Copies of this chain bind each other. A is one copy, B any other.
């Protein structure tokens, strides 16, 4: 179940500006477990190096325009791959 983390971070940041600790807590809500700091901070650094996120003087991260495009592209990919995903929603209700 690897490989979701970076996209989940992009998704989270697309909704709200957050610092590392807040992102960590949000990930716990969504995934069930907090990422190790040795996972989260390198991931944020990589996203920043790629120009997908930026951080202000208080270490609050947000998406760049490039990050928004990247997230949209990932959504497109996902929706194409699971184009018949509606049936999956059976798992999600209730």
Which residues of A are interface residues toward B (Cβ below 8 A)?
Answer: 1-4, 8, 11, 15, 30-32, 72, 74-84, 88-92
Contact = CB atoms under 8 A, between A and B. Distances in A.
Count of identical protomers in the assembly: 2
B80 A1 contact: no
- A interface, over-half SS: helix
Contacts of A88: 11, 75, 78-79
23 contacts: A1-B3, A1-B77, A2-B2, A2-B3, A3-B4, A8-B82, A15-B84, A30-B80, A30-B81, A30-B82, A30-B83, A31-B80, A31-B81, A32-B77, A72-B91, A75-B88, A75-B90, A75-B91, A75-B92, A76-B92, A79-B91, A79-B92, A83-B92
